[in-house]
Amino acid sequence: MLAGAILDSSGTRILLARRARPVELAGLWELPGGKAEVGETDEEALRRELAEELGIAVGVEFELRDQVVLSDELVLIARWARVIAGEPTAREHQAVRWVDAEELSTLCDEGRLVPADTVWVPELVARLRRA
């Protein structure tokens, strides 16, 4: 599983998307992404998923520090990325929004992020504040 911490052009906000399913995660915000298909690199998978789900082209950069083991087959990895083209549109999500460090912290504290994604919040907040 690849998730993208997608930075806006000012470098101060990242993109969150609100999940529509499954029921236990519906309404919670996540770093958007998806699963790699056979033969795809992580970077290719993330670029394809973000094009499909949000209609954006991204440049994929480094991996964030933490990985989350969701199950025997599913490990969640997040990569830092930047929008190259397109305006994010919720095609498979309920909504999308750009958040700065403050808003990301607040959503996390309020329990409004997908649980697995909370591991990245400290690193993301630090990176956004440094911008």
Q: Cis link prior to 88 (omega < 30° from 0)?
A: no
Q: Contacting ligand CDP (CB under 6 A), which of 7, 16, 33, 99?
A: 33
56 near ligand CDP (CB under 6 A):
no
96 near ligand CDP (CB under 6 A):
no
Taking the C-alpha atoms of residue 100 and residue 108, their distance in angstroms, rounded to an integer, is: 12
31 near ligand CDP (CB under 6 A):
yes
47 near ligand CDP (CB under 6 A):
no
Torsion angles phi and psi, residue 100, rounded to 5: -90, 180
Torsion angles phi and psi, residue 10, rounded to 5: -80, -15
Residues of this chain that interact with ligand CDP (CB under 6 A) are 1, 3, 21-22, 25, 30-31, 33-35, 70, 76, 114, 116-117
